[in-house]
Structure 1
Amino acid sequence: MVAITLSVLVLITAGAGWWFYEHLNGNIHSVSLDGKGGTEKADAFGRTPINVLLMGSDSRGSAADCKLGGACESGGGERADVEMVVHISADRSNATVMSIPRDLVTSLPPCTDKETGQSIGARTDMINSALTYGPACQVAAVHQLTNIPIDHFMKVDFAGVVSISDAVGGVGICVDKNVYDPSSHLKLSAGPHTLKGVAALEFLRTRHGFTGGSDNVGRTSGQHAFLGAAMAKLKSAGTLTDPTAVYGLADAATKALTVDDGLGSVKKLISLASDVNKVPSTRITFVTMQNVPDPANRAHVVQGPGAATLFQTIANDQSLTTATGKKSAGSSATSTTQPVDKGSVAVDVENGTSTPNRASTILQQLIRAGFNSASTAGNASTPVTTTTLTYPQGKSAQAKAVASTLGLPTSHVKQGSGNQIVLLIGSDWTTGTTYPGSHPSAAPADTHKALSGALARNGGDSGCVHVSTDRTISVTAEGIPTTAVTKWGITPTTAYARSPHVKDSAP
């Protein structure tokens, strides 16, 4: 539901002019996270990943929201209809977008909404219910579930999705079969369509239309396809030349947003968008957190096998796309290739201290971490004070991988004149296998396990969304003639065929 909002930010960086930023700043509503999302740690080069929780609120807080979301509910508060953790790597080379099922039952932390004063204690409930107590409480719930530091959040409601998708001119989507889901009112014929306004909202909210046929699987597959298509469109569109169009888009986007105070200005949003824009579409992996039916209530789900490993890859800043970016690693049984093949990297480790066997100790640590076993250890020709890592031309990435493994700061890494990578250990590092005071990268998670059952989709994929072949449409569905259904329900394609009286969502 918030998919197009992030794409809009990328467009603002390309087309917006500073002359109307003051007005746009006044549109944005911001809320403090109060530290509820945890703290991100910098890597050995001082770079930090970015993790943003995107939320689509089901609030019926306005007449427009009520009309778009069905009958307004009395009480109960708003819930997170959509939740996606967007992870942008520290080096801005790749990203992961992980959807969390709205009906996931898990342990939730105690929390207080500072804007309303509402409080609640620790409990077990659906994760989307935390938004009732404010966005910061929803962030806290996701952080507790995943142990992923959440730097920022962005929230948009029903009316915001409609206004933004209209302003951007629609998003191109393809479905592989005719589909009709009376619950969201989405009705599309097989093939490509451009979704604007209400049609975009119907597509993003469909519960029964796509493969998986539920809030917890089918809905996220459609959302991932929509977000990928929106980002690809805006990246390829280039700079807008029509100031009126740019203004309308930026005005709609900023009015629709609630963000944390770290994103509470157009300048800050543009900085985030700039980071997003650095990541090629083919280096973005969309996944859905693994889940299984809740034994206590089959309408809900609980954390499934592989989810903890998926969380770990994001927390560890591990890429889930291949080096070429042609496919996400979960799209086939092929292995996940990291940006640097450690096994091909040989390091000459030299001991410049008076401590015996320092070079051998560090060499063994590098070999354990997967670096080439042909690496060598020896003594430096003269004692040295400061540890340095030098590398030949064209081997910067390999040297950074060595430094990151050992926690060596970027200030100690430089290009040299030789033809091999040389680690010269100085008297500033006489004990241990990580540089003093550093925070080296955590042990890598198993990316095969992380992607198993996670419905991975690469951001460069342009294939049609698969319509469900299951009988996901209820026998009591509105708009389906009662004489046309069986007690077991019907497929979305059959529902389309039997509802000629219902207008398609888009031509």
Structure 2
Amino acid sequence: MNTQQMRNDWGAQRPAYGHRPAPRRRGRRVLVLVLLALVLFPLVFGGWLWFRVDSSINRIGAFPDYSGRPAAGSGANWLIVGSDSREGLDPDTAESLHVGEADGGRTDTIMIAHVPDNDTPPTLISIPRDSEVPVPGQGRTKINAAFAIGGPELLAQTVEQATGLRIDHYAEVGFGGFAGMVDAVGGVEMCLDQEMHDTKTGQTLQAGCQTLDGEKALTFVRMRYSDATPRSDLDRVANQRKFIGALVEQASSFSTLINPFRTYSLADEGASSLTMLEPDGTGDLLSLAWAMRGISSDGVVTTTVPVTDSSANRWDKEKASELFEAVGSDQPIRQDLITE
């Protein structure tokens, strides 16, 4: 083989000038790593957040059994309480939220959320806090007193005996936690038909569509001394259900779920201010939120316990009994039993 032929053969085997296979392989590896990160990050973040929430929730023991306690019915019943406890609020924060001062804890909000086992729509029922019902050991008095005297346990027993529904789960949040969750999702949009001015606190919300931050949201759900709330507590509980629906919708929106900072802030604010039963966990809470997500779109039946007049002190016994019987058996609720 002559010298020229050897040179030609060597040249044929030599890679063409500028050909670099290594960078191409490196590029594919980078792409694979990016794809893995996109898949694994939500899983890792979600798992960590799940643990964070579950370990941050305040717990109380399971509700004790007692003689005559209602048997478990169809579906699951949540007792949801918004307390007016100022615990954890520094003086400046309490002043900014316009919550005043009060010792101990009372209930600003009492609701029963029913999650059915069948395809009947979920139900959210407001119980006016001035409802006069038998409170064990206290005679007949306002239901709000049950929480003030005996906390969640006595309130749950009072609700069970008054409604005939067994309470399976419990969720309680205070003033600061509620405002914090609203701020965590960037505020909640509400449309007000007219100006709302509270003659007791002096707070005012303008008419029209607007985004309420935590402070204004707390004003909205607590207001009952206003020309815009002529039915007092009945209008207030209706506004509470309306706002909860908008809050759940905002919290479960795509813009919130894809934002890890907002998701973390919401979970952190909610968990640290939430009180639940010892056996309940994050999965139970998500199940409730998922069931209640249809409030704004009429996918959830929302109502107040039927009462005899606008004072909301006395229940309409016949209608209330029919309402709770339908709820406890996962039956559709008649329209005449629904009170806005």
Query: Structure 1 residues 170 and 308 mapped into 2: Cα distance closer, same or farther (>3 Å)?
Result: same
d(CA) in 1 for partners of 2:134 and 2:43? 42
Query: Structure 1 residues 24 and 224 mapped into 2: Cα distance closer, same or farther (>3 Å)?
Result: closer
Q: Cα distance, 1:238 vs. partner?
A: 6.2
Superposition map of 1:313-392 within 5 A: 313-320=326-333
**8 A Cα contact 1:83 1:102, kept in partner:** yes
The structure whose Rg is larger is: 2
d(CA) in 2 for partners of 1:92 and 1:218? 29
d(CA) in 2 for partners of 1:224 and 1:210? 19
1:40 aligns with: 72
d(CA) in 1 for partners of 2:229 and 2:219? 17
Cα offsets for 1:76-117 (capped at 9, x unmatched): x322111111111112551111101111111112xxxxxxxx
2:117 aligns with: 90
What RMSD in Å do the two structures reach over aligned CA positions? Answer: 2.9
1:51 aligns with: 77
d(CA) in 2 for partners of 1:241 and 1:15? 14
Superposition map of 1:262-341 within 5 A: 262-263=279-280, 265-276=281-292, 281-292=297-308, 301-304=313-316, 306-320=319-333
What TM-score does the superposition give when structure 2 sets the normalisation length?
0.76
Cα offsets for 1:178-216 (capped at 9, x unmatched): 221133444222210111111010001001337552442
Do structure 1's residue 225 and structure 2's residue 252 form an aligned pair? no
**8 A Cα contact 1:210 1:222, kept in partner:** no
Do structure 1's residue 240 and structure 2's residue 257 form an aligned pair? yes
Query: Structure 1 residues 91 and 281 mapped into 2: Cα distance closer, same or farther (>3 Å)?
Result: farther
Cα offsets for 1:352-381 (capped at 9, x unmatched): xxxxxxxxxxxxxxxxxxxxxxxxxxxxxx
Query: Structure 1 residues 312 and 195 mapped into 2: Cα distance closer, same or farther (>3 Å)?
Result: same
Superposition map of 1:96-107 within 5 A: 96-107=123-134
Q: Cα distance, 1:233 vs. partner?
A: 3.1
Query: Structure 1 residues 160 and 316 mapped into 2: Cα distance closer, same or farther (>3 Å)?
Result: same
d(CA) in 2 for partners of 1:16 and 1:279? 28
Superposition map of 1:407-418 within 5 A: none
Query: Structure 1 residues 233 and 245 mapped into 2: Cα distance closer, same or farther (>3 Å)?
Result: closer
Q: Cα distance, 1:21 vs. partner?
A: 3.1
Structure 1, unpaired ranges of 5+: 1-12, 42-47, 110-120, 321-446, 456-507
Which amino acid is 1:33 matched to? F
d(CA) in 1 for partners of 2:320 and 2:143? 15
**8 A Cα contact 1:95 1:319, kept in partner:** no
Which amino acid is 2:128 matched to? P
Higher helix share goes to which structure?
Answer: 2
Query: Structure 1 residues 214 and 189 mapped into 2: Cα distance closer, same or farther (>3 Å)?
Result: same
- Classify the secondary structure of the residue corresponding to 2:55: helix
